[in-house]
A and B are shown apart, each in its own frame.
Chain A
Amino acid sequence: MDQPVLSLLERIQAGDEDALLALHARYASLVYSVAYRIMNDTMAAEEVTQDTFMRLWHKAALYDARKGSFVTWLLTIARRIAIDTFRQQRRDPLLETLWIDSSTEHWENALSANRDGDLPRLMKVIIQDLPEEQRQVIELAYFYGMTHSQIADYIALPLGTVKTRIRLGMEKLRAAWIDDPFTDPASNDQS
């Protein structure tokens, strides 16, 4: 039977390497997936994955269960390490969207334990209903840490257009998350 995450984190703080390896066995694929989405390179993604778990090894005490789920915290670490590495290596962001439909259940299983909102509905909007131009700017901000201005420069669009696309896309996602009946997530505003 899987040990609870908090128990494993306590063991990590006591220097138990097996506890870290247990968390690695459980979450390495999710961390690797985020890293690969950003780095778009197998070796670099592996490096980010291992960096993430070494960070966990040293910083496990910083996890605060009151602030959110462990998985979310771990994947945030992975994303930040990947973004830092991406910037240092001056790579080019991947503009086209990657998606594997059959993989959604992995995310749902991993993220549903501590969810406060409607995860399947959010997932459906991400997969089916988010207009490509809104998805693109959100992905550039989320996966590459780009600001409004950086995105506008990168995809050669007016700053106002980028701001509008981010806002409209995020509004759709929020509506799906809170299951807002007054917002139609399938509404594809082309701004």
Chain B
Amino acid sequence: MEHEDLYDLIPAYALDALDPDEKDRFEAWLRAHPDAQSLLDDYRQVADHLVMMAPVQPAPAHLQADLRARLAAERSSASPTAVSAPEPPPTLSNAGRTLRLHRRWRRTALLTAAAVVLVIVAGLVLIRPAAAPAENAAEAYARIAAEDGAGWFDVVPGDVSDAVTGDLVVTPDGGEAVIRVAQLPPIERDQTFQLWLVDQSGSRVSGGLFRPGTDDATYIRVPLDRPVADYQAFGVSLEPDGGSPLKDAPTGPRVFLVPLSS
């Protein structure tokens, strides 16, 4: 490749757009032509400012709370000798640990974020908790998920849609439980979702009514009056507005189930 050709590659090199073999030749040429460095510096400064091509969009307000949750989760997951402070000289092993912790809680934080928006903006979660909580269901989910020894159970789609996904988190003592569910099917104005708690004898108790949100995830606090171990499943059915006409049984199709016999 001629000098002129390589000189013309300076802008693309600053953009990191050279193919590998081309990049190798260019870097060899650059070492032999230090006079090209100032031009490359110009292009690098230009490249540094190409972020301006991205339209500015306000970050969702819940991200700050999510970040707090992630920091708290990471802090609580760290070993006693691994304090929460960041490690100034990073090492590969620490980076790996960080990445694993990070991945572990990433979904929690993101879905918490979605739910906070859901609850605050849409105001569509109408579930009746046993007692008015100081924190909303999404915050409770994030808190429980961050606890060592928290229990996790999968949401199993029911008869309405195969796309429903999610999970249930339970405190280590079984005293609190929150369901996170995504891709709930849309429902009519005269319909509602109803949560059911099924105990070990098969008896059902209504856990409240709610409607799907406009975002991906809905968080539902399960109103427990006994430990989770006393239940065999939690389920949600699609019911007419106002809930099932029957006090202790659903009348509509099952939307999802959370079996607790893992």
Q: Chain B residues near A104 (CB, 8 Å)?
A: 52
Residues of chain A within 8 A of B16, CB atoms compared: 141, 145
Contacts A107-B52, A177-B45; is A46 near B60 (CB within 8 Å)? yes
Chain A-chain B contacts (Cβ-Cβ < 8 Å), number: 190
Q: B34 within 8 Å of A by Cβ?
A: no
Q: Does B87 interact with chain A (Cβ within 8 Å)?
A: yes
Is the CB–CB distance between B86 and A15 below 8 Å? yes
Give the secondary structure class of A's interface: helix
Cβ contact within 8 Å between A30 and B15: no
Contacts of B57 in A (CB 8 A): 29, 32-33, 36, 100, 103
- A49-105 contacts to B, CB under 8 A, are 49-51, 53-54, 57-62, 68, 72, 75-76, 79, 97-100, 103-104
| Chain B, Cβ-Cβ closest to A123 | B52
Establish whether residues A148 and B68, one from each chain, have CB atoms under 8 Å apart when the complex forms. Answer: no
Q: Is the CB of A147 within 8 A of B17?
A: yes
**Residues of B contacting A146 with CB < 8 Å?**
17
Q: Is the CB of A32 within 8 A of B71?
A: no
> Chain A: which residue is nearest B75 at the CB level?
A17
Give B42's nearest chain A residue, CB to CB: A174
Q: Are A50 and B109 in contact (CB under 8 A)?
A: yes
CB contacts (< 8 Å) of A51 on chain B: these are: 102, 106
Total B residues in contact with A, Cβ cutoff 8 Å:
56
B56 A174 Cβ-Cβ under 8 A? no
Asked if B22 is at the interface (CB within 8 A of a chain A CB), the reply is yes
Chain B residues with CB under 8 A of A167 = 8-9, 11-12
- B132 an interface residue at 8 Å Cβ cutoff? no
Q: Which residues of B contact A47 (CB under 8 A)?
A: 106, 110
Is A72 touching B48 in the complex (CB atoms < 8 A)?
A: yes
Q: Specify which chain B residues have a CB less than 8 angstroms from the CB of A42 in the assembled complex.
A: 60
A8 in contact (CB, < 8 A): no
Given contacts A50-B66, A68-B48, A173-B46, contact A33 B56 (CB under 8 A): yes
| Besides A170-B46, A171-B11, A178-B42, 6 other A-B contacts (C-beta < 8 A) | A15-B84, A20-B67, A28-B63, A61-B88, A97-B53, A177-B49
Q: Which 6 A-B pairs have the closest CB atoms?
A: A15-B85, A170-B11, A37-B54, A103-B56, A141-B17, A32-B59
Residues of A within 8 A of B (CB): 12-15, 17, 20-21, 24-25, 28-34, 36-37, 42-43, 46-47, 49-51, 53-54, 57-62, 68, 72, 75-76, 79, 97-100, 103-104, 106-107, 111, 115-117, 119, 122-123, 126, 135, 138-139, 141-143, 145-149, 151, 163, 166-167, 169-171, 173-174, 177-178
Can you spell out 15 A-B residue pairs with CB atoms less than 8 angstroms apart? Answer: A25-B64, A28-B64, A32-B60, A46-B60, A47-B110, A54-B67, A60-B86, A98-B54, A103-B57, A107-B51, A119-B49, A122-B46, A142-B15, A146-B17, A148-B18
Q: What is B's interface to A at a CB cutoff of 8 Å?
A: 8-9, 11-12, 14-20, 22, 42-43, 45-60, 63-64, 66-68, 70-71, 74, 83-90, 94-95, 98, 102, 106, 109-110, 113-114, 216
